C-alpha cells in the first residue's frame, strides 16, 4: 500500500494551536490519541515546537526536527535534524516509516502541498494563545472522510480526518 504523509494536530474552535510555545490546554485523552496514532512511526516538527517541549524526545518514535540553522544539533539516536522541505522528502522516500507532520504553524505552512491526509482534533472550546493553524491552508484540496466524537473528563473534542482530492 502506498504510504502517505499525514498532518496531525489539535486546535480550538477558532484554529488556535499554541500558547507561548506550548499547547493551550491539557487533555490527556487527546494526547493519548496523538500517541496511539504516531507510535512506531516518524514525526516531523519545527525547531520552535521541539524547544517548547523542553527538547524532550517522545519515546517510541523517530523525531525529525526542521531548522535553517546548520549548526543545530540534538544528540539522541531517535532524532534527525534536517534543514529543508526537500531534505525531509528525500529522507521519507528512502525509508519505510509513515511520516506525521506534527507542527507548528510554520511547518504546516511549509508542507501544505505535500500532505496527503489530515487528522485534526477540534477541542470544543475557545482558549487564549498566540499561534493559529495557517489561515492560508488549501482546504479546498481535501475532503472529510471520517468524524469521531470523543468525550473527555474536561473538554470534549472531535477528530476530523481528511484526504487529499486534488
Ligand atoms: N496544537 C497542536 O497540535 C500543536 C502542534 C505543534 C505545535 N504547536 C504549537 O505551535 C507553536 C509553534 O509553532 P511555530 O509556527 O511558532 O513554530 P514551528 O513551526 O514549531 O517551528 C518554526 C521553526 O521551524 C524552522 N523552519 C520553518 N520552516 C522551515 C523550512 N522551510 N526549512 C527549514 N526550517 C524551517 C525554523 O527554525 P529555525 O528558526 O531554527 O531556523 C522556524 O523558526 C507552539 O506554541 C507549539 O506548542 C501546536
Domains of the chain: 5-164 (3.40.430.10)
> What is residue 18's three-state secondary structure?
strand
Q: 94: exposed, middle or buried (C-beta count within 10 Å: 0-12, 13-18, 19+)? A: exposed
CA of 1 to the centre of ligand 1 (A): 30
> Cis peptide before 47, with omega less than 30 degrees from 0?
no
Cell reading at 77: 539516536
The CB of 24 under 6 Å from ligand 1? The reply is: no
Overall pTM > 0.85 = yes
Q: Which atom of ligand 1 is nearest to the CA of 66?
A: 34
Spacing, Cα 109 to ligand 1 middle (Å) = 10
Q: Is the CB of 57 under 6 A from ligand 1?
A: no
Atom of ligand 1 nearest to the CA of 22: 47
Host H or E run for residue 149: strand 142-150
The predicted structure's pLDDT at residue 3: 78
Reduced to 3 states (helix: H, G, I; strand: E, B; else coil), residue 78 is: coil
Q: What is the mean pLDDT of each run of 10 residues along the chain (166 residues)?
A: 88 98 97 98 98 97 98 98 98 96 98 98 98 98 98 97 96
Amino acid at each position: 500500500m502506498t504510504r502517505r504523509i499525514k498532518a496531525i494536530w489539535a486546535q480550538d474552535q477558532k484554529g488556535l494551536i499554541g500558547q507561548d510555545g506550548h499547547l493551550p490546554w491539557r487533555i490527556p485523552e487527546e494526547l493519548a490519541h496523538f500517541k496511539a496514532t504516531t507510535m512506531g512511526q516518524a514525526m516531523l516538527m519545527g525547531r520552535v515546537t521541539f524547544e517548547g517541549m523542553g527538547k524532550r524526545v517522545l519515546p517510541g518514535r523517530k523525531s525529525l526536527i526542521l531548522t535553517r540553522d546548520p549548526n543545530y544539533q540534538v544528540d539522541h539516536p531517535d532524532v534527525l535534524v534536517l534543514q529543508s522541505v526537500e531534505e525531509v522528502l528525500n529522507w521519507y522516500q528512502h525509508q519505510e516509516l509513515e511520516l506525521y507532520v506534527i507542527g507548528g504553524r510554520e511547518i504546516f505552512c511549509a508542507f501544505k502541498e505535500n500532505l496527503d491526509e489530515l487528522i485534526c482534533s477540534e477541542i470544543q472550546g475557545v482558549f487564549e494563545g498566540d499561534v493559529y493553524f495557517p489561515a492560508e491552508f488549501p482546504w479546498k484540496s481535501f475532503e472529510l472522510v471520517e468524524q469521531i466524537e470523543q468525550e473527555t473528563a474536561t473538554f470534549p473534542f472531535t477528530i476530523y480526518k481528511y484526504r487529499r482530492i486534488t
